[in-house]
Amino acid sequence: MGETIIEKIVRNNVGRVVHPGDIVTVNVDRVMIHDIFIPFVAAKFEEMGFTKIWDTDKAVLIYDHLVPASQVDDTRHFREGNAFAAKYDMKHVHRSDGICHQLMTEAGYVKPGNIVFGTDSHTTTYGCVGAFSSGIGYTEMASILGTGTLWIRVPETIKIHITGKLPANVMAKDIILKLIGDLGADGATYKALEFTGDTIEQMSVASRMSMSNMAVEAGAKCALFAPDEKTAAYCEMTLTQKERELVGDTDAQYCQVLHYQAEDFVPVMACPSNVDKIKPVSELVGKEIDQVFIGSCTNGRLEDLMAAAEIVRGKHVAPFVKLIVTPASRKIYRQAIENGTMEVLTQAGAIVTHPSCGLCCGRTGGILTDHETVVATNNRNFLGRMGTSKVGIYLASPRTAAACAIAGKIVVPE
Amino acid sequence: MGKIFKFGQDVDTDQIIASQYIIYPTIDEMKVHTFESLDSDFAANVQPGDYVVASENFGCGSSREQAPSVLKALGVKAVVAKSFARIFYRNAINIGLPVIVCKELHDNVQTGEEMELFMQEGVVRVNDKEYECTRLPEYMQGILDQGGLIASLNKEEEK
């Protein structure tokens, strides 16, 4: 019988055929720990009695949520992170290079077929290059650092097949938001998503990334794209036969198969305060807004900034609106300067911040207060995420967000 | 016996313990803010041995282990929900907080009612009525029985 992508990845790792529901122990290829949780990981690691990291080349420590510090206590995380990294000889530490999920793929830490865990729910992102990656807590992370292994339950797979050409004002973000709305916030819990179809094949790795990033908002354990030539170019590698075989077989067993026609997608938003509360932007037109945020591990990449720039070129942000732009990494920031994107955005009145999680984790970079409304390109609109619990957060694509910033209210992008 | 504290659907980890508190150095400093945005009196009213009962997708959102940890630190004996989000579920077992799936309980009980959980039997009892709940897979029950992942790892080492 055929296999899904996740079944192949796990089979290659454990050396035998697996089926959904099997509980297996996998050898971990890479782990990521970010600044919020490093003090807790460090404490648990020592409490477990470990004296060395199983493979110092395989662990990556990234400071992003708290960079640069906005409160005095934040510095404790850098201090304790640095002490842990020095004591256990960690090889890969990024202190101000950008958001963890962007760096893990951009810096080449993740390759097709890898099994990767991170102390962040959006670790599902690396499925964009055909890796099985998922979020875990800090106790389990400490355990992997010591042992190099983790138990997992092999998930069932939901296949999402999309064919056709997307309308010009629709981005990958609109697709994943629509899918989350259709599946519901727990519609894919414990399951893998697998994306196929010519629309997906045409899509850039950056666009795939914004989809795998948000799969967890439907509860998914991981979200996989079969590695192809675009993946190989992005990862700066040639795919081996084994990597090329990481596609879902035609006779694989899927627990659910969803078909979509690309032409049917429209710009959408997730309305306060649930990610699965999806409405077409056309039904929300006219709502006045106070701020727009373009950034995060979901939509802070070069193509996102360029899409926003295309919309705001030669125009200016509405008088009472703040447009905050946060590139996902230092590399993207530099590329956006070099290709003129930053020039266009700043001419239009954008406030550009340093690469980091910024406003998405609600600690810095434009927090809001009661009865204010923000259109944001990140992945969560939970109660209180960007300030007080009475802030209305609408999640949208960079194209939609930029159009709203110019109009000063919710509008459908051109 | 313990009292029930009832919550709804899609209770996310930000609602269990908000982002601004998870960088406090200890769980004890965080726990007074548990469920602050949903029920600001929760931390003051909950007693050791009480239960949290919820609908679908309890613990969705971030990977923060502080979410099950504050509940355990407040003495919550178990969370019984129609379903759980994946990372919360793993985290809870790893820190030794029982998480029980029970489809029928939520719709039939209220905050303040007395409840008893019989984990081995897979049964909860409220107002003399019994509700069947799903038992954990053996592997996870093993971790839970030993008091969580750390205790379980230490035990493996002794072998």
Mean local confidence (pLDDT), A179-191: 96
Position A72, amino acid: V
The two tokens of residue A5 are 């992508």
**For A263-277, how does the pLDDT look when each residue is reduced to its tens digit (9 = 90+)?**
999 999 999 999 999
Mean local confidence (pLDDT), B24-37: 96
Judged by CB atoms closer than 8 Å, whether chains meet at B86 and A382 is answered as no
Judged by CB atoms closer than 8 Å, whether chains meet at B14 and A76 is answered as no
Amino acid A235: pLDDT: 97
CA distance A133 to A342: 32
**For A212-230, how does the pLDDT look when each residue is reduced to its tens digit (9 = 90+)?**
999 999 999 999 999 999 9
Task: Find chain B residues with C-beta within 8 A of A139's C-beta.
Answer: 65, 91, 94-95, 148-150
Contacts of A254 (CB under 8 A, 6+ apart): A4, A156, A157, A158, A159, A194, A248
Mean local confidence (pLDDT), A53-69: 97
Overall size of chain B counted in residues: 159
**For A75-110, how does the pLDDT look when each residue is reduced to its tens digit (9 = 90+)?**
999 999 999 999 999 999 999 999 999 999 999 999
Does residue B157 have a pLDDT over 60? no
Q: In what order do the strands lie in the sheet with A92-94?
A: A92-94, A59-62, A30-34, A115-118, A132-135
B23 phi and psi, to 5 degrees? -95, 5
The CA-CA-CA angle for residues B91, B94, B97, to 5°, reads 80
**For A307-327, how does the pLDDT look when each residue is reduced to its tens digit (9 = 90+)?**
999 999 999 999 999 999 999
CA distance B63 to chain A (A): 5
Reported as a pLDDT band with limits 50, 70 and 90, residue B103 is very high
Q: Find, in chain B, the residue whose alpha carbon is nearest to that of A221.
A: B86
Strand ranges, E, within A137-232: 149-153, 157-163, 192-196, 222-225
A363 phi and psi, to 5 degrees? -110, -25
CA distance B152 to chain A (A): 10
Contacts of B68 (CB under 8 A, 6+ apart): B59, B79, B88, B91, B92, B95, B97, B99
CA distance B148 to B146: 6
Judged by CB atoms closer than 8 Å, whether chains meet at B157 and A49 is answered as yes
**For A117-161, how does the pLDDT look when each residue is reduced to its tens digit (9 = 90+)?**
999 999 999 999 999 999 999 999 999 999 999 999 999 999 999
Mean local confidence (pLDDT), A340-355: 98
The CA-CA-CA angle for residues A24, A27, A32, to 5°, reads 115
- For an interface test with A, the pick among B60, B70, B141, B156 (most A C-beta atoms closer than 10 Å) comes out as B60
**Least CB–CB distance from A136: residue in B20, B83, B87:** B87
DSSP A36: T
Better-predicted residue by pLDDT, B110 or B23: B110
Judged by CB atoms closer than 8 Å, whether chains meet at B57 and A76 is answered as no
**Least CB–CB distance from A120: residue in B12, B37, B63:** B63
| Number of other residues whose CB lies within 10 A of the CB of residue A242 | 11
Count how many Cα atoms sit within 13 Å of the Cα of residue A169 in the half-sphere of its side chain.
16
**Least CB–CB distance from A389: residue in B37, B60, B85:** B37
Judged by CB atoms closer than 8 Å, whether chains meet at B157 and A189 is answered as no
DSSP per-residue codes, A366-404: S-B-TT-EEEE-SS---TTTTBSTT-EEEE--HHHHHHH
Task: Find chain A residues with C-beta within 8 A of B148's C-beta.
Answer: 139
Contacts of A73 (CB under 8 A, 6+ apart): B23
Q: Which of B145, B110, B154, B148 is nearest to B129 (CA)?
A: B110
**For A383-414, how does the pLDDT look when each residue is reduced to its tens digit (9 = 90+)?**
889 998 899 999 999 999 999 999 999 999 98
Q: Which of A223, A208, A201 is nearest to A121 (CA)?
A: A223
Reported as a pLDDT band with limits 50, 70 and 90, residue B159 is very low
Judged by CB atoms closer than 8 Å, whether chains meet at A137 and B94 is answered as yes
Strand ranges, E, within A17-163: 23-27, 30-34, 59-62, 92-94, 115-118, 132-135, 149-153, 157-163
Torsion sign, CA atoms A98, A102, A104, A105: negative
DSSP A154: P
Percentage of residues in chain A with pLDDT exceeding 70?
Answer: 100
Residue at token pair 């708290």 = A66
Rg over CA atoms, chain B: 15
**For A273-289, how does the pLDDT look when each residue is reduced to its tens digit (9 = 90+)?**
999 999 999 999 999 99
The CA-CA-CA angle for residues A129, A93, A117, to 5°, reads 40
Judged by CB atoms closer than 8 Å, whether chains meet at A380 and B95 is answered as no
- Region of residue A408 (left: phi > 0; alpha: psi -120 to 50; beta: else): left
3-state secondary structure of B3: strand
DSSP B57: S
Percentage of residues in chain A with pLDDT exceeding 90?
Answer: 97
Q: Which H or E run includes A46?
A: helix A38-47
